[in-house]
Amino acid sequence: DSGVTQTPKHLITATGQRVTLRCSPRSGDLSVYWYQQSLDQGLQFLIHYYNGEERAKGNILERFSAQQFPDLHSELNLSSLELGDSALYFCASSAGGGDGNTIYFGEGSWLTVV
């Protein structure tokens, strides 16, 4: 168990809909990262937050948005969903400036768009 909690674990939704994925980082971690992994693909970096502020953005679509709340949990919002958005979405966290930069992944949220 990495200590990073993601919900829901599985989600099936229809095209055009909107979903929210939730992530609770490890206790004490200030950084939260979101990655998208399509079937048999690599880890595509979406966005990084540190202590509530956006720090870096990857190839995140305009239909996607994220935020990190004062209690450090993060949400990834996916809207106007398309079939191609079906993927495994990982959240990861790190201390982000503490004792190192190791990032730890949650179990992921499987999103299926039908």
Partner 1 sequence: GENVEQHPSTLSVQEGDSAVIKCTYSDSASNYFPWYKQELGKRPQLIIDIRSNVGEKKDQRIAVTLNKTAKHFSLHITETQPEDSAVYFCAASIEYGQNFVFGPGTRLSVLP
DSSP 84: G
Q: Under a CB-based contact definition with an 8 Å cutoff, are residues 53 and 66 in contact?
A: no
Span 59-98, contacts to partner 1 by CB under 8 A: 88, 90, 92, 94, 96-97
Which CB, 43 or 80, lies closer to partner 1?
A: 43
Is 38 near partner 1 (CB under 8 A)? no
**DSSP readout, 10-40?**
EEEE-TT--EEEEEEPPTT--EEEEEEE-TT
State both tokens at 94: 């790190």
Out of 19, 47, 108, 113, name the contact with partner 1 by CB under 8 A: 108
Nearest distance in Å: CB 109, partner 1: 11
Can you tell me the distance from the alpha carbon of 54 to that of 75, in angstroms, rounded to the nearest whole number? Answer: 13
Identify the residue among 14, 71, 83, 102 touching partner 1 (CB under 8 A): 102
Instruction: Output the smallest distance, CB 105 to partner 1, in A.
Output: 4
